[in-house]
Amino acid sequence: MFETAMTAKDFWMLVQGAGMTLLVTAISVAIGTVVGVICGIFRFQAGPWWAIPVTFVLDVCRSVPLLIQLSLAFAFVTAVLKLRISGFSVACGVLSLYTAAYCSEIVRGALESVPPNTRRAGRSLGMTWLQDMRYIALPLASRVALPSWIGLSLGVMKDSALIYVVNVSELMKSTKDLITRLQEPLFLLLLCGVFYFVISFPVARFGSYLEKRWSND
Amino acid sequence: MFNYSFRWNQAFQSLPDMLQGALVTLEVAVLSMILGILFAILLTSFRLSGNRVLRGITTTWVEVARNTPALFQIYMAFFGLAGLGIAITGWTQPHLGFAVDLRLSPYVALLAGITFNNAGYLHENFRGALKAIPDTQTRSARSLGMSAPQAFGYVVMPQMLRISFLPMTNQFVWAILMTSLGAVISMNSDLFGVTDNLVKINFRTFEMFAIAAVIFYVMTKIVTLSARLIAARLFRY
Amino acid sequence: MIEIEKVRKSFGPLEVLKGIDLTVAKGEVLTVIGGSGSGKSTLLTCINGLEPIDSGRILVDGVEVHAKSTNLNKLRQKIGIVFQQWNAFPHLTVLENVMLAPRKVLGRSKAEAEAEAEKQLKHVGLGDKLSVYPARLSGGQQQRMAIARALAMGPSYMLFDEVTSALDPMLVGEVLDTLRLLASEGMTMICVTHEMKFAREVSDRVAFFHQGIMAEIAPPEELFGAPKTAELEKFLAATH
């Protein structure tokens, strides 16, 4: 339906960009989730005072544009600390922190939604704190947390479009570079948008399906 | 390790320009919220209209807004509307004898992109809020002789406003943050654009972005705190 | 006067009203009893036009409720209705709940509406709750507020749809007392209820609905004392 000057090589560039988007998302979500779960349990267990540092990071992530977070982190690492670190690592670091902050909030909320009596029942059977967490609290909490976690992961994927600012050629940047060269903005943007949509839409639908199903019982 | 020499003074000289940029950022965010709310209401009425085409417009709009990056939406607004502008310009030349140039400024494209995003998310907020108000509220309002618009205006809408107030505040904060994406379509009058331009001149990258970060932080804090105050005054039940 | 002539009404394949004929005179208190699904609540919502009907007609003071030319909003000012679920407007205080419709629908001034609302709330025993939000009231108090809200429109008729069914047993008495008060003041009322003792006490006539048909209608002594149909006999035996 479109007349295009795009070559197979150009298309390959887009595919690589898409691969980069997925890679950065996967790394950030993986690291961020592990850190976030630990921080979330800690915040739940330690009470509000100890939670202040995590809450502050979360607050900053919510109040400062990601573009600035990335630019600032990159400038700090390369200019202030004078470290030779790639934009890719900085991007993964910032997005991991971002994921961890949100994830800890999700985990804490989910743990708070587990009725204390259920947990007391576990403890009264002679379970240790760890056993109670492992067999009772976390399994119940994960039902509450999973839909939000899916939403968070998709959010990270969409937000990863901003890491062009630290010179990582993910999908959005590849698209933009091609637009400059081929001058076919609408066709190229459409391709790019379809990629995001095709991944995000079904997963988001699945998430809201889980939410609906699990909130009924 | 810290042999980097911070030059805060030099960076602070740009503060007036940056605050000017912050005003533009706020302006775009406020306009995009007002337009976003209007479009969200329009999309809601489309969804409730029962017409399949109109419902389809709502579904497409909402799903694209929620399932693609905001950056993509702003690009799309820029190139899409620019394409439309060129088409109109090209059409007017031979037909009217002069060209109506509707090619977009980055400002309008950014506003359009953020509005598109806002409308999609706000539509979902309104939908949830409407669902949370039982039909019986409308029914008893009607039974007192109120017309349908009266029942909606005096009974349903105030309750809906309360439920969607906090999500609306969050979307407003999000709109403020989204203005920074204007950089990709060469918007240079907003806070991020101003900062980015000045950095290219004075090279105080870290200092400049740190100041910009603090300004954004303070702006969003003022917004959330005043929203909380307004909510406490408005919703005393 | 409310005149109901051969009214039929279906929800999908289910016919809930199978030709009802009934006239309620000014000042009369009619109670309607019957099992669930007998169509008695539907009849009330049809009388003030909240539900359309399939055939027949309903006249209120000679105005046909379901005629296209009828201004329903105007007609409803004459007919107050109170539902099983009290439906307080949660965002308004008790006083504002009662003032809203008189101000917006009747165009009363604030002072007028406030005076009237205060009068009605005192009438139902809520004079000390004027500036409280409904969430702070008990179910019985909310239901009495709903009654005051309907009364503030100055209706000629009041319809009560199982107003005590959703209440704790402890709170039923205070609402029934309010209804008794209205009945003693000569208000024209149609009460759908499960409270047989109440029906026996206050009614001029009692109607028994069974599967969409008005099986019997008579003064209470007669209806409760000498049921004519086997269905009513069975129903009364089950409720006592």
Question: Which value does ipTM take for this structure?
Answer: 0.85
Which amino acid, residue A104? S
CB pairs under 8 A between B and C: 63
Phi and psi at residue C59, to the nearest 5°:
-115, 130
Pairwise CA distance, residues A10 & A175, whole Å = 10
What is the predicted pLDDT for the residue at B100? 59
Pairwise CA distance, residues B33 & B62, whole Å = 16
SS3 of B181, please?
helix
pTM greater than 0.90: no
Indicate if the pLDDT at residue B5 is higher than 90: no
Domain ranges of chain C: 2-239
CB pairs under 8 A between A and B: 106
Indicate if the pLDDT at residue A5 is higher than 80: no
Q: How much is the mean pLDDT over chain A?
A: 87
Q: Residue C103: pLDDT band by 50, 70, 90 thresholds? A: very high
Pairwise CA distance, residues A209 & B59, whole Å = 17
CATH code of the domain containing B72: 1.10.3720.10
- Tokens representing C4 are 């109901």
C-beta of residue C140 within 8 angstroms of C-beta of residue C129: no
Q: What is the mean pLDDT of residues A5-14?
A: 83
C-beta of residue A213 within 8 angstroms of C-beta of residue A157: no
Pairwise CA distance, residues C68 & B93, whole Å = 54
Chains with 3 or more CB pairs under 8 A to chain C: B
Q: Among positive and negative, which fits the CA dihedral B227, B229, B230, B232?
A: positive
Q: Which CATH fold would you assign to the domain A8-216?
A: MetI-like fold (1.10.3720)
What is the predicted pLDDT for the residue at B103? 59
Which amino acid, residue A208? S
Q: Three-state secondary structure along C139-172?
A: HHHHHHHHHHHHHCCCCCEEEEECCCCCCCHHHH
What is the predicted pLDDT for the residue at B2? 58
Pairwise CA distance, residues C240 & C229, whole Å = 17
Residue whose pair of structure tokens reads 């007669």 in the numeric block: C222
- The percentage of chain B sitting over the pLDDT mark of 90, rounded to a whole number, equals 59
Residue C113, CA atoms < 13 Å, CB-side half-sphere: 20
What is the predicted pLDDT for the residue at A1? 45
Q: Where are the alpha helices (DSSP H) in chain A?
A: 8-46, 48-63, 66-75, 87-112, 116-124, 129-131, 138-159, 171-182, 185-216
Indicate if the pLDDT at residue B94 is higher than 80: no
Indicate if the pLDDT at residue A2 is higher than 60: no
- The percentage of chain A sitting over the pLDDT mark of 70, rounded to a whole number, equals 98
Q: Looking at chain B, which residue has its C-alpha nearest residue A165?
A: B184
**Residue to substitute from A2, A71, A84, A98, interface B, most B β-carbons within 10 A:** A71
- Tokens representing B173 are 């904060």
With an 8 Å Cβ cutoff, are B159 and C91 in contact? yes
What is the predicted pLDDT for the residue at A160? 93
| Strands ordered across the beta sheet of C14-24 | C14-24, C2-11, C55-60, C63-64
Q: Three-state secondary structure along C172-227?
A: HHHHHHHHHHHHHCCCEEEEECCCHHHHHHHCCEEEEEECCEEEEEECHHHHHHCC
Indicate if the pLDDT at residue C29 is higher than 90: yes
Class of domain C2-239: alpha beta
What is the predicted pLDDT for the residue at B99? 61
What is the predicted pLDDT for the residue at A140? 86
Helix, strand counts (H, E) of chain C: 9, 10
The count of structural domains within chain B is 1
Pairwise CA distance, residues B182 & B177, whole Å = 10
Chains with 3 or more CB pairs under 8 A to chain B: A, C
Cβ neighbours for A94, distance < 8 A, ≥ 6 positions apart: A66, A69, A70, A73
| Strands ordered across the beta sheet of C157-161 | C79-82, C157-161, C188-192, C29-34, C205-210, C213-218
Residue whose pair of structure tokens reads 């969430």 in the numeric block: C135
Is residue B1 a part of any domain in this protein? no
SS3 of B13, please?
coil
> Smallest Cα–Cα separation from B187: which of B14, B71, B87, B102?
B71
**Largest CA-CA distance found in chain B, in angstroms, rounded:** 77
What is the predicted pLDDT for the residue at A216? 59
Burial level of A60, CB count in 10 A (0-12/13-18/19+)?
A: middle
What is the predicted pLDDT for the residue at A149? 93
Chains with 3 or more CB pairs under 8 A to chain A: B
Q: What is the mean pLDDT of residues C203-211?
A: 92
Query: B160 contacts in C (CB within 8 Å)?
Result: none
C-beta of residue B74 within 8 angstroms of C-beta of residue B187: no
pLDDT tens track for A82-92: 888 888 999 99
With an 8 Å Cβ cutoff, are B69 and A197 in contact? no
Q: Residue B87: pLDDT band by 50, 70, 90 thresholds? A: low
Q: Among positive and negative, which fits the CA dihedral B44, B46, B51, B54?
A: negative
pLDDT tens track for B170-189: 999 999 999 999 988 888 89
Give the nearest partner residue to A68 out of B75, B180, B221, using CB atoms. Answer: B180
Pairwise CA distance, residues A158 & C25, whole Å = 69
With an 8 Å Cβ cutoff, are B159 and C85 in contact? no
Q: What is the mean pLDDT of residues C84-101?
A: 91
Is residue B3 a part of any domain in this protein? no
Distance from CA of B203 to the nearest CA of C (A): 55
Indicate if the pLDDT at residue B237 is higher than 50: yes
Q: Residue C143: pLDDT band by 50, 70, 90 thresholds? A: very high
**How do beta strands C55-60 and C63-64 pair?**
antiparallel
pLDDT tens track for C144-155: 999 999 999 999
Indicate if the pLDDT at residue B46 is higher than 90: yes
Pairwise CA distance, residues C179 & C177, whole Å = 5
Which amino acid, residue C150? A
- Tokens representing C147 are 């009654």
pLDDT tens track for A103-129: 988 998 898 888 888 878 878 887 888
What is the predicted pLDDT for the residue at A65? 93
> Smallest Cα–Cα separation from B181: which of B28, B17, B23?
B28
Indicate if the pLDDT at residue B101 is higher than 70: no
> Smallest Cα–Cα separation from B212: which of B5, B1, B17, B74?
B17
Phi and psi at residue B236, to the nearest 5°:
-95, 0
pLDDT tens track for A151-176: 999 999 999 999 998 888 889 889 88
Q: Looking at chain B, which residue has its C-alpha nearest residue A56?
A: B217
Residues of B near A (Cβ–Cβ under 8 Å) read: 1-4, 63-64, 66-72, 75-76, 79-80, 82-83, 173, 177-181, 183-184, 192, 205-206, 209-210, 212-213, 216-217, 220-221
- The percentage of chain B sitting over the pLDDT mark of 70, rounded to a whole number, equals 90
Residue B163, CA atoms < 13 Å, CB-side half-sphere: 17
